[in-house]
Amino acid sequence: MTGYEIRIGLEIHVELATNTKIFCGCAVEFGAPPNSQCCPVCLGLPGSLPVLNRAAVEYAIRAALALNCTINLYSEFVRKNYFYPDLPKAFQITQDDKPLAVNGLLRYYLGDELMETQITRLHLEEEAGKSIHSGESIIGSEYTSVDYNRAGIPLAEIVTAPTMNSPAQARAFLEQLRLVLQYAGVSDCKMENGSLRCDANITVHPEPGMRVEKVEIKNLNSFRALERALAYEAERQVRVLERGGTVMPETRTWDERAQKTVRMRVKAGAPDYRYFPEPDLPPLELDAAWIEEIRSTLPELPLEKEARYQEAYGLSTYDTGVLVRAPQLAQVFEATVAQGRDPKFVANWVTGDYAHLARLGGTVSAEHFGQLLDMISSGAISAAQGKTVLQEMFARGVSPREFVAEMGFTVIADRDFLGKVIREVLTGHPELVERYCNGEDRLLGFFVGQVMKATNGRAEPRLVNKLLVEALAEGRNWQPRAE
């Protein structure tokens, strides 16, 4: 791949999370029985007229503001004409040369590097219906059914500049875009349900400035599919060029099973959609005050939150990354820290055991979680016991204080008893003791672990640590010191 420059642009369709469709009052509910959420308007029956849903406009504006776009106070709807069975009117109402928003910018991290990609435009349009083939694809199917429940769901189409230089960058962009849209509350962005869909275009340039043809890739249903399809396609195009061939402008699809892109159609000139202004909808004229009102309700967005966590709490980039990507974890973290607890201590527990248990299902209130952390940090119970308590809190919703009292959890802070355990551990590992005495400090962790194991995790770890350091300093003939 050396010597070639890759340029990638993305086109993303996001289903806006309104209660009803964009031009009629039909409900939008994922998984409803086929054709149960349709009316004359979204079925395109003669004589029916569209009425624009204010909430769809509001959600699109929220999305555009979260992506730093300029909102056009004047935009227009047009008809895009093409024939396909899932499009009952034989045209789609969309926006063309006067879109809702332009000139946005999204910042995101690729590894440790902060990147930015320009958003060329964001416009509103209606979703098409869904073809359901009797076989695996249209080829070889006996028949195809169409479900119009999806027809007329509001979509925001987001187009980026073709400036991303690697498949990994395109993936990082899309992951951040999804997070920002989720924070803005405009869509659930579930790629598996199709509420966030992405097409990509890619060109491979042998020399800067040389004109090359664009290849589009469709059917990218996951972040992994996006990254793999682009990597495959970049390599394929380089192979063609190395053989002295020419890359054809074409539309390809990602074959998940074969893990390769496959040609769908060769592009012979731009398709003629015969765009013309939608006669049944007036131009969309917005009030600047309404836009400012929407802007004022936008929450803190992921990058701002990340920066605040690092500055205000001194958290690592790893911890902030985990918290910011899972808003419910960030919420628990903030609520628990707000009561004056040590942020790093809280972050360790939230990104560790709490995150793991939350992934398995269930939730624990910040109040109960805080009580548990207080018992651990005060030494009333050990960290190992704390893990068990947290598991029970997730599994059965127990109160940590009551559960600890009920189970009789206590920590062992008896110096004589711990001294005896420590002596057994040290006499059991004479070689390691010698190595420690010769300067291998890191072995201390091993000895602590052995003592914790021998006490079923009930020993007070700080005391174990202290006693072990003393014992090892005095050699193997150590006796517990009287206080």
Which residues contact Zn ion by CB under 5 A?
24, 26, 39, 41-42
CA distances (Å), origin 345, targets 47, 182, 253, 348, 373: 65, 28, 47, 5, 9
Nearest 5°: CA angle at 251, between 246 and 257?
A: 105
CA distances (Å), origin 349, targets 315, 336, 356, 457, 481: 13, 11, 10, 17, 35
The DSSP secondary structure of 453-470, one letter per residue, reads HHTTT-B-HHHHHHHHHH
Measured CA to CA, the distance from residue 94 to residue 412 in angstroms comes to 69
CA distances (Å), origin 319, targets 181, 316, 325: 22, 5, 10
Compute φ and ψ for 345, nearest 5 degrees.
Answer: -60, -45
Q: Which is nearer to Zn ion, 24 or 230 (CB)?
A: 24
Q: Which is nearer to Zn ion, 42 or 326 (CB)?
A: 42
Min separation Cβ 30 and Zn ion, Å: 16
Q: Which two tokens stand for residue 222?
A: 């996951």
Q: Name the helix (H) or strand (E) containing 291.
A: helix 288-296
Min separation Cβ 129 and Zn ion, Å: 11
Give the Cβ contact number of residue 154 at 10 Å.
27
Q: Which is nearer to Zn ion, 41 or 189 (CB)?
A: 41
Q: Which is nearer to Zn ion, 126 or 199 (CB)?
A: 126
Q: Which is nearer to Zn ion, 39 or 281 (CB)?
A: 39
Min separation Cβ 12 and Zn ion, Å: 25
Min separation Cβ 81 and Zn ion, Å: 21
Q: Which is nearer to Zn ion, 28 or 330 (CB)?
A: 28
Q: Among 142, 124, 125, which residue's Cα sits nearest to residue 133?
A: 142
Measured CA to CA, the distance from residue 49 to residue 276 in angstroms comes to 17
Min separation Cβ 156 and Zn ion, Å: 19
Q: Which is nearer to Zn ion, 24 or 238 (CB)?
A: 24
- One-letter amino acid at 42 equals C
Min separation Cβ 41 and Zn ion, Å: 5
Min separation Cβ 42 and Zn ion, Å: 3
